[in-house]
Amino acid sequence: MKNKKNLYTLISIVLVFLFLVYANKNFDSYQIRIMNLCAIYVILGLSMNLINGFTGLFSLGHAGFMAIGAYTTAILTMPLAVKESNFFLAPMAAPLNSIVWPFVPALLLGGLLSAAAAFVIGAPALRLKGDYLAIATLGFGEIIRILITNAQRVTNGALGLKGIPDTTNIWWTFGIAALTIVFMTLLINSSYGRAFKAIREDEIAAENMGISLFKHKMLAFIIGAFFAGIGGGLLGSLLGTVDPKPFNFMMTFNILFIIVLGGMGSITGTVISAFIVTISMEALRVLDSSINLGFMVIPGITGMRMVIYSLLLIVVIIYFRRGLMGTSEFSWDKAFEFFKRLPLSKGGAKNAVTKNK
């Protein structure tokens, strides 16, 4: 039975791979960009879920970590000529104006710097609990954004950076997303993952079972920030431009929505909902343009989709507090059971009958 399941897993991986090959060839650039965004949101969602969902720390500083990753990758990978044309207000600070790094080391350094920032902010902030931690980390995210806006000679301030090499393609984003999924799954199922969950369930009991709260909270916070930095770096490289504006609270809120919808504390849920949310955000763009209902015309209001989106969040929080998956994960057994229970399938109807008796 176990071999059979491994076979199914292998087949699914091959199918996903073939789909990506197909998509890469036949999808237009808009669709491919959405695919890339989905994968990046998987990385960001998982990194936030480790902190908020698995360890139970209510942190809202994710946009800050992403900004650090995005700017690090952008600054290090931009060719010298592009740097010069970007920094026309004030010349770029040395030695940044004369170095160009390859993509992977730049991305990794982005992650590491983000993790370092998490270490610095975490040391004081993780002594706080609940709402207080949320406010402190929210403040941290804003501080990072303001710092970036004002560090003219390093980040080009509010003008942002344009012409970042578009190294990111479907293989980078989905490859790194896959690595993130594998790493998070392994981490969560290890003794450390159990310790994180124990802290989420009951801090006092966890501490009395010999788990150092501070050490484990820091660990989750730093690992989460590392992957947020990587996700930010990929995002910058995908969009080709970064500026401080998008890294505001709304960015954190988007990712928070993904993990709440998917289920706080479920890797499967986060992956599924990253795709749902990213794709539906694009699909809902219709709402921003004017809509003709036949009897009346709703004029296009920019931001209309955000209203719908917020309403959806409220509905999810009121009626589906545990999200799509709660804290459970995908397994082949559960998948088969799910399909068996569908009334249209053979076994399903039979089961329904026997149950009625």
Partner 1 sequence: MPLLKTNNVTMQFGGLTAVNDFNLELNDGEIIALIGPNGAGKTTAFNVITGVYKPTKGNIRFNEQDITGLRPDQITNKGIARTFQNIRLFKDLSVLDNVLIANHLNVKSNFLEASFKLPRYNKEERIMREKSLALLEKVGLVDLRNEKSSSLPYGKQRRLEIARALATNPKILLLDEPAAGMNPKETEDLTLFIKQIRDEFNLTIFMIEHHMQVVMGISDRIYVFDYGVTIAQGTPHEIQNNPKVIEAYLGVSEDA
Among 21, 120, 143, 205, which residue interacts with partner 1 (rule: CB under 8 A)? 205
195 versus 271: smaller Cβ distance to partner 1: 195
Tell me how far apart the alpha carbons of residues 109 and 233 are, in angstroms, rounded to a whole number: 10
Provide, rounded to whole angstroms, the least separation between the CB of residue 330 and partner 1.
Answer: 18
Q: Does 2 bind partner 1 (CB under 8 A)?
A: no
Name the minimum Å distance from CB 60 to partner 1.
23
Between helix 130-150 and helix 62-77 the angle, nearest 10°, is 30
Distances 208 to 56, 119, 199, 205 between C-alpha atoms, Å: 17, 25, 11, 5
The residue from 70, 206, 287, 324 that contacts partner 1 (CB under 8 A) is 206
C-alpha–C-alpha distance, residues 281 and 287, integer Å: 10
Query: Can you tell me which of 27, 101, 103, 183 binds partner 1, judged by CB under 8 A?
Result: 183
Among residues 33, 96, 103, 207, which is the contact residue for partner 1, using CB under 8 A?
207
Backbone torsions φ then ψ of 162, nearest 5 degrees: -120, 160
Span from 59-67, 118-126, 131-139, 206-214 in contact with partner 1 (CB under 8 A): 206-214
Applying CB under 8 A, among 3, 208, 290, 354 the residue interacting with partner 1 is 208
Q: What angle do CA 133, 271, 213 make, to 5 degrees?
A: 30
Residues 6+ apart with CB under 8 A from 246: none
Site membership for partner 1, residue 331 (CB under 8 A): no
Q: Which stretch binds partner 1 (CB under 8 A): 115-123, 148-156, 202-210, 342-350?
A: 202-210
Rounded least distance, CB 252 to partner 1, Å: 25
Among 81, 94, 204, 296, binds partner 1 (CB under 8 A): 204
Residue 37's closest CA among 213, 277, 223?
277
Confirm if 42 and 254 have CB atoms less than 8 A apart: no
Q: Which residues contact 33 (CB under 8 A, 6 or more apart)?
A: 238
**Interface ranges with partner 1 (CB under 8 A):** 183, 186-187, 190-192, 194-195, 197-198, 201-202, 204-213, 219, 223, 327
